[in-house]
Amino acid sequence: MSAESNLQTIFKYFEGCNSGDLDVLMSTLAPDVIHYFSARDQKPIQGAEHLARYWRKIQQTWKPIWRIDHALAKDEEVVIEWSCAYLLKGKQGRMMLRGSDWYVMRSGRIAEVRAYYENIDETRDCELTGFPYGERGYLLKG
């Protein structure tokens, strides 16, 4: 598949993460996909159905708004920078989480995800200190 086609698959995957739509998510994932997380308490998730159901549960629990801020693709690899504004149970207002993912594609579907982000801290936003997110057009929680 082309780099552009692979990018479109990642954007569709994020649509699925935002909606929790299992069909959309499944259409973007290789059957044996594996998703690695930088959070120490999060074990890898393997298999398209398990990963799709995981994102649906996250969507139902935190009502996240995911956005891809930047994306680069070459051959069978895609790298993105993302923002996520999410709700914590019992708290008003959204919190921010930001990170980067590295995708390995196979036949136009996601075969591997390596997600790099800071562990969620319920007391503060997890983003770069002093970075001008708003000025650069990034998703803001407000």
- What is the pLDDT at residue 40? 79
Give the separation between CA 14 and CA 112, rounded to whole angstroms. 15
The model's confidence at residue 7, banded by pLDDT at 50, 70 and 90, is very high
- What is the pLDDT at residue 92? 81
- What is the pLDDT at residue 142? 72
Give the separation between CA 55 and CA 33, rounded to whole angstroms. 14
pLDDT per residue as tens digits for the range 47-85: 999 999 999 999 999 999 999 999 999 999 999 999 999
The model's confidence at residue 6, banded by pLDDT at 50, 70 and 90, is very high
Residues whose CB is less than 8 angstroms from the CB of residue 50 and which lie 6 or more positions away in sequence, other chains included: none
pLDDT per residue as tens digits for the range 86-120: 998 877 889 999 999 999 999 999 999 999 998 77
Nearest to 48 by CA among 115, 120, 106: 106
Helix axes 48-62, 3-19, angle to 10 degrees: 50
Strands 29-37 and 109-117: parallel
Could you give the domains of the chain? 3-117 (3.10.450.50)
- What is the pLDDT at residue 15? 98
CB 46 within 8 A of CB 32: yes
What are 44-47's contacts with CB under 8 Å, separation 24+?
A: none
Across the range 40-53, mean pLDDT stands at 95
